[in-house]
Structure 1
Amino acid sequence: MVGKLTVITGPMYSGKTTELLSFVEIYNIGKKKTIVFKPSIDNRYGEDIVSTHTGFKVKAHKISKSIEILNHISNNIDAVFIDEVQFFDEELINVVRNLIFKGIDVYCAGLDISYLEKPFKTTANLLAIADEVIKKKAVCEKCGEHRATYSFKITQDDKEIDIGGKEKYIALCRECLKKIKVNKTL
Structure 2
Amino acid sequence: MKSPLSHFFVALAVCIFSLIGYGVLYNAVTDKSAIAENLQVKISQKTESIDRISSARTALSEIAGDEAAVQSYFIPETGVVAFINDIEERGRSLGTTVTILSVSIGKASTSTPQILTLAVTVKGTFDAVMRTVGAIEYAPYDLSLPSFSVGRDGENTWRADFKLAVGSVSPKTVTSTQKTTTGTSTPSP
Shorter-chain TM-score range: under 0.3
**Larger helix proportion of the pair:** 2
Q: Which structure has the larger Rg over C-alpha atoms?
A: 2
Higher relative contact order (CA 8 A, sep 6+): 1
